[in-house]
Amino acid sequence: MVLLECPAEEPRIAFAQVLVNGACAALLPFEEEQLERDALTMDSASASWISCQAQTTLLLEHLLTFRPHLTQNWRRFGQYFYVFGLFSALSSNARQYLLDRRLIYILADMYMGEDSPARQQQSKAQKKKNKMGDRFEQPNFYHLLDALANLVCACAPRQPVRREEERRRVEKRREDEKRREREREEKREEENRRGEKKRRERREEEERRDREEKRICCQE
């Protein structure tokens, strides 16, 4: 991945800017509503990012799958977090999506490292494997903290009641879509039945005329 493996910083910065300020900024105005639906979908622990619909969501969820590789690339992971910082600046819905995906927890866990409460159960071997920095250099957390500040300072987490209301609204919208689809399907089936009935009546009428013509011919 360019954001983690490219050795030069300038291409990583340019790639992050094109990715967010170019692609995501162009798509986001058309995907604001779907972004909210995807946030509720991904709230489930068993959800898969492949089930998302918005292209911006697919991009972010794909980026989140690279989290296990961050500690191995700590010298170059600054622009990885730069992407989330840029994305959080696009709109309130973009920031809310990152909040719904618990990005504050993810960023804080990465910043705290071995001191993170989420890593207390790790073995010494795991902690050593995930250790970042050395005697001569420490990880650059500038872009991580910038993204974290955007989320903490600019966004307030939604109240549980409001979240439940939104979940019900999304579920109702999905049920309405399914109901309309069933109605359209039933309408198509009814039209097919009517068409078949007309074709059958037409065939019967033609057969009746043929029999009548044959009967007249036989009489003559």
pLDDT digits (tens, 9 = 90+) for 86-139: 998 888 888 888 888 888 988 998 888 877 777 777 666 666 667 788 888 888
The overall average pLDDT reported for the chain is 81
Quick one: how far is CA 164 from the chain centroid? 19
Q: What is the pLDDT of residue 42?
A: 61
CA distance 93 to 88: 9
For residue 129, CA distances in Å to 70, 126, 133, 169, 181 come to: 11, 5, 11, 44, 52
Q: What is the pLDDT of residue 46?
A: 45
Whether residue 20 is predicted with pLDDT greater than 60 in this model: the reply is yes
CB within 8 A of 17, min separation 6: which ones?
86
CB-CB neighbours of 15 under 10 Å = 17
What residues does each domain of the chain span? Answer: 2-157, 171-220
pTM for the whole structure: 0.64
Q: What is the pLDDT of residue 172?
A: 85
Eight-state DSSP code of residue 159 = P
CA distance 215 to 196: 28
Nearest to 83 by CA among 109, 61, 50: 61
* Amino acid letter, 137: E
Q: What number of residues does the chain have?
A: 220
DSSP 82-127: HHHHHHHTT-HHHHHHHHHTTHHHHHHHHHHGGG-GGGTTS-HHHH
Nearest to 144 by CA among 213, 98, 96: 98
pLDDT digits (tens, 9 = 90+) for 137-192: 888 899 999 999 988 887 665 555 566 677 788 788 888 888 888 999 999 899 98
Identify whether the C-beta of residue 97 lies closer than 8 Å to the C-beta of residue 54: no
CA distance 203 to 96: 62
